[in-house]
Chains A and B, each alone.
Chain A
């Protein structure tokens, strides 16, 4: 089944304890992205990756890191989590984004990771 998976689905941690949220897709998509969703603010893009070893900042990258060593995986790393990073996080992937093409493909989303930082 074609899908985007995230782990863990739920995580409660404490301030300053490094954590990684994994994201994997089995559709051979080039583009992957991380979003956070907060009440009243909607979904905001944290980081995205155009392909292996190519990543760039979204709108709210502070406090986050990513890596794209393999096409299928795009982990989100919080080196020193803080309470303001408590949120619902989504990973998404897309075959391509439009640049260099005449159209952009749809995004496919993972189930989400609810993170609470105490």
Chain B
């Protein structure tokens, strides 16, 4: 059964720091991995989608990488800002014949001014 883990559960960093968020999954048979941002009490905003054939995707200060063989993805945030404070979630889409998406429990990021 596919499991998705995000460690740490919470992270505080000073403004301007470059940081890495981690996402691990137990089964490498996936179609894609998607990173989301969620502000408190709000919906999910898609940040980056990496297809299984891709190694990384970039959008502005964000860069997401995917290593299927090791079951890992990282979200790199450059020059962090207080506005980046939010919970970051990753989700995988297994190829196992199920139509389900599996989410991690998220990393709550706080960027201190």
Q: Which residues of A contact B (CB under 8 A)?
A: 31, 33, 35, 40-45, 48, 50, 56, 58-59, 88, 90, 92, 97-99, 103-112, 114
Contacts and interface: CB of A to CB of B under 8 A. Distances in A.
A107 B99 contact: no
Contacts of B34: 106-107
Contacts of A112: 41-43
B46 A107 contact: yes
A98 B41 CA distance: 30
A106 B105 contact: no
A42 B43 contact: no
Contact of B46 (A31, A56, A106): A106
A45 B2 CA distance: 14
Interface of B: 31-32, 34, 36, 41-46, 49, 51-53, 89, 91, 93, 95, 97, 99-101, 103-106
Given A90-B43, A106-B46, A41 B105 contact: yes
A94 to B, nearest CB: 9
Given A90-B44, A107-B46, A42 B106 contact: yes
A112 B52 CA distance: 28
A31 B32 CA distance: 16
A63 B46 CA distance: 29
A34 B49 CA distance: 20
Nearest to B95: A98
Contacts of B93: 97-98, 104
A99 B99 CA distance: 8
Which of A33, A45, A48, A88 has most chain B Cβ within 10 Å? A45
A68 to B, nearest CB: 13
